[in-house]
Amino acid sequence: MDKKVLITEPTPFIEEEWGILEKHATVRLAKGVTEDDLIAEVKDVDVMLVVYAKITKRIMDSAPRLKGIVRYGIGVDNIDIQAATEMGIYVANVPDYCIGTVAEHTFALLFALTRKVILADRIVKNANWKIWTQQPTELMGTDLEGKVLGLIGMGNIGSAVAIRAKAFGMKVIAYDPYLEKDRAKLLDVELVDLDTLLKNSDFVSIHAPLTPETRGMIGEQELKKMKRTAYLINTSRGPIVKESALYEALKNRWIAGAALDVYEKEPPDRDNPLFKLDNVVLTPHIAWYTEEALKRLKRSVAEEAIRILNGMPPKNLVNKEVRFVKKTT
């Protein structure tokens, strides 16, 4: 029986992984990514490669041959993990392809905020700065050295951010209920509760996964606990921050500014009120997006798919309980 792999969406192109996989299976790109679209596509599929498409129980129920789902990336909140596990379907991700990449983008956003890079670029290009010995007050920057960086989440990416922050002479504190004290000590990071982090940080950077516990964890109450001079950066998952509360915080200057690479809704609506503010820097979910990271991602996704096609568990198995579930179809 010919093995089949379905790729839900290009990322942004699929030549590399397609070339690797076609030696092991027939590969095709889905014609659409709605639930109904995918239900119509998965009847004969053995492995699905998924970007942002939501993979529901209904989709899996329509795929009697499905052995595995591989996510292009780290987060798997768009996949019904419980349903996959109950049906004996492997779910894999690629947790290590962009650790340093996202950490670097975090600092790109941090510098854009603190050194007013975007505003300065606009002023120069519009020739709005006539006397170069009298710098505009709105371009006054903020040093990183000696400041406190608060990390929400200290997994691989959070740890990479902490290491880089130390090179800039920053003090790093972190909130992560799952981080072992020995690991924090090794990284020279002080573990604190969330309230302490919010009240004492000059910069708060989010690196937590999206879970029921973290969804909406940064709202009005949390933002009001931050310093009026503090900045918020989110390169993790948009729904961790309540955007309506963040808008009020920025508009009313509860905090100095924010930088987002992720949003509650992606892509965000054109009339998103955050777009009108001058104290927020926005990028389109590209923290992971470098040439090197993309190559690592594609290669890893293809290798995981091949393992599953060959009857082996994936290297980066998310739902480890699936090993104890016998697939009946």
Active site members: 237, 266, 285
Query: Rounded to 5 degrees, what are φ and ψ at 28?
Result: -145, 160
Provide DSSP, 237-293.
-GGGB-HHHHHHHHHTTSSSEEEES--SSSSPPTT-GGGG-SSEEE--S-TT--HHH
Pairing of strands 68-71, 231-234: unpaired
| Rounded (5°) CA angle 212-215-221 | 125
3-state secondary structure of 190: strand
Instruction: Tell me which residue has tokens 């889905």.
Output: 30
74: tokens are: 């780290």
Phi/psi class of residue 169: alpha, beta or left (left: φ > 0; alpha: ψ in -120 to 50)? left
3-state secondary structure of 2: coil
Q: What are the strands of the beta sheet with 47-50, ordered from one edge?
A: 26-29, 4-7, 47-50, 68-71, 90-92
CA distance 158 to 193: 16
